[in-house]
């Protein structure tokens, strides 16, 4: 009977010895999505700040798109967490009675700060002139939405717009450390768990920040190229080349940090090393070594590197950017997967391994995960409809001006 039970456990994907409560994973694919989504938010915002604060004029065509992308993804960011909670109805307790020693307790405040004090405010300031114009010229049905969005501030005189510009600059300046905080903080949630050697690392928040920048920049670059193509407009190659250059250099920093972490672990070879090493060579071999490192990191770095050192035709560069961008997104998703899921596949006794079986239609299943990945794109579509990010005059603007 007991042997039969042992066999069942083996069939359930347990190898070696797991503490009995460890067999099932606590954090599912939804918790993989959370850092993936917030990473895109933080990265997109950093790209926007390149133009606003660091005056990188070349990336101006993506400035507003980056802000709207950040907002669209930020709106979805808490959903996977809510769906994961055993009692989502109790989540407001994190606002009312946050536990001062918990790394997670700050989540609500960091999220709200970033959403309201940074992103929404910056977008509103940047679009205020357009909103006022739309509120006068848009079709009746949508006019009231714009009227509401003006918040009663209809003055678009030069002095007023100059104040908007100045305040917007300050908000972006505050936004950069806030974006770092948002995602570095997510890294800290994992990095501060001393019970888990796969997570416990002071480098974790830094790696998260740089990987966020990589994914956000690649994401906005892809979105810009795809949307411009769909709009039958010309892709601004100076803009895309500049973004690709930043992506390349930040990717190198990100990869160096990850390798530093890896080399440190291998060389130090502490008590957890044998267990983790086994995991990386077995269950995590495909997602970690093949997908994350080779396909999702080294390949895009090499591809982007080629565009930096060789003079290539525009069409070739475009194709390389699209391929490198897609691979980057896959690589960063794999990185989140390997952190969250990989960190739960081994026993804290270092004597065994379990497997993650993703459900299909449950609350934390694959379909929900796919839905949550696509949902920000719908939000982005709605935001673009409401607040067109294009620099060329739209129908509304033409009518308003």
Q: Is the Cβ of residue 9 or residue 147 nearer to another protein in the bound state?
A: 9
Three-state DSSP class for residue 24:
coil
Segment near another protein (CB under 8 A); pick from 103-111, 158-166, 173-181, 282-290 = 103-111
Segment near another protein (CB under 8 A); pick from 4-12, 69-77, 137-145, 242-250 = 4-12
DSSP 362: S
- Pick one of 351, 358, 366, 386: the residue that binds another protein (CB under 8 A): 351
Q: Is the Cβ of residue 6 or residue 393 nearer to another protein in the bound state?
A: 6
Per the CB < 8 A criterion, the answer to whether 298 and 258 are in contact is no
Q: Is the Cβ of residue 27 or residue 113 nearer to another protein in the bound state?
A: 27
- Pick one of 13, 53, 91, 289: the residue that binds another protein (CB under 8 A): 91
How many Å apart are CA 192 and CA 397, to the nearest integer?
50
* CB 75, min distance to another protein, A: 21
How many Å apart are CA 316 and CA 339, to the nearest integer?
34
* CB 258, min distance to another protein, A: 22
Candidates 88, 115, 78; CA nearest to 372 is: 78
* CB 163, min distance to another protein, A: 39
Q: Is the Cβ of residue 350 or residue 356 nearer to another protein in the bound state?
A: 350
Q: Does 268 bind another protein (CB under 8 A)?
A: no
Candidates 367, 361, 336; CA nearest to 34 is: 336
The number of residues that bind another protein (CB under 8 A) is 46
Per the CB < 8 A criterion, the answer to whether 154 and 132 are in contact is yes
How many Å apart are CA 291 and CA 11, to the nearest integer?
27
How many Å apart are CA 43 and CA 219, to the nearest integer?
9
Q: Dmax over Cα atoms in the chain, in whole Å?
A: 83
Candidates 316, 189, 190, 303; CA nearest to 251 is: 303
Q: Is the Cβ of residue 1 or residue 360 nearer to another protein in the bound state?
A: 1
- Pick one of 53, 56, 105, 386: the residue that binds another protein (CB under 8 A): 105
Query: Contact letters (x/-) for another protein, 189-218, by CB under 8 A?
Result: x--xxxxx----------------------
How many Å apart are CA 83 and CA 103, to the nearest integer?
20
Segment near another protein (CB under 8 A); pick from 98-106, 134-142, 161-169, 354-362 = 98-106
Q: How far is CA 165 from CA 66, 159, 161, 398, in A?
A: 18, 10, 6, 22
Residues lying near another protein in the complex (CB under 8 A) are found at 1-3, 5-6, 9, 17-23, 26-27, 81, 84-88, 90-91, 93-94, 97-99, 101-105, 107, 189, 192-196, 344, 347-351
């Amino acid at each position: 009977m007991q042997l039969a039970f042992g066999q069942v456990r083996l069939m359930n994907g347990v190898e070696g010895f797991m503490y009995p409560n460890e067999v099932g994973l606590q954090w599912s694919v939804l918790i993989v999505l959370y850092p993936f989504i917030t990473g895109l938010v933080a990265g997109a915002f950093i790209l926007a700040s390149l133009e606003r604060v660091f005056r990188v004029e070349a990336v101006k065509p993506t400035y507003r798109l980056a802000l709207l992308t950040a907002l669209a993804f930020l709106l979805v960011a808490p959903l996977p967490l809510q769906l994961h909670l055993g009692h989502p109805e109790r989540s407001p307790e994190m606002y009312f009675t946050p536990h001062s020693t918990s790394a997670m307790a700050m989540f609500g405040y960091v999220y709200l700060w970033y959403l309201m004090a940074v992103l929404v405010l910056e977008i509103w300031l940047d679009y205020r002139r357009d909103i006022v114009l739309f509120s006068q010229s848009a079709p009746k049905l949508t006019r009231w939405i714009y009227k509401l969005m003006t918040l009663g501030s209809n003055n678009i005189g030069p002095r007023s717009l100059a104040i908007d510009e100045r305040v917007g600059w300050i908000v972006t300046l505050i936004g950069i450390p806030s974006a770092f905080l948002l995602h570095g903080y997510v890294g800290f949630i994992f990095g501060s768990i001393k019970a888990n050697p796969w997570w416990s690392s002071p480098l974790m928040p830094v790696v998260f920040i740089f990987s966020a920048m990589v994914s956000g920049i690649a994401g906005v670059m892809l979105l810009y190229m795809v949307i411009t193509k769909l709009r039958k407009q010309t892709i601004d190659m100076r803009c895309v080349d500049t973004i690709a250059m930043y992506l390349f250099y930040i990717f190198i920093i990100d990869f160096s940090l990850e390798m530093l972490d890896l080399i440190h672990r291998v060389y130090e070879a502490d008590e957890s090393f044998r267990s983790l090493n086994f995991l990386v060579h077995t269950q995590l071999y495909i997602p970690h070594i093949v997908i994350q490192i080779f396909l999702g990191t080294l390949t895009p770095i090499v591809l982007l590197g080629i565009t930096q050192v060789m003079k290539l035709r525009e069409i070739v560069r475009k194709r390389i950017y699209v391929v490198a961008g897609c691979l980057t997104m896959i690589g960063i998703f794999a990185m989140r997967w390997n952190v969250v899921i990989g960190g739960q596949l081994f026993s804290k006794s270092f004597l065994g391994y379990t497997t993650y079986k993703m459900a299909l239609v449950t609350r934390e299943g694959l379909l929900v995960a796919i839905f949550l990945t696509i949902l920000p794109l719908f939000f982005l579509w709605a935001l673009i409809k409401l607040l067109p990010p294009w620099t060329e005059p739209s129908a509304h603007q033409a009518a308003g001006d």
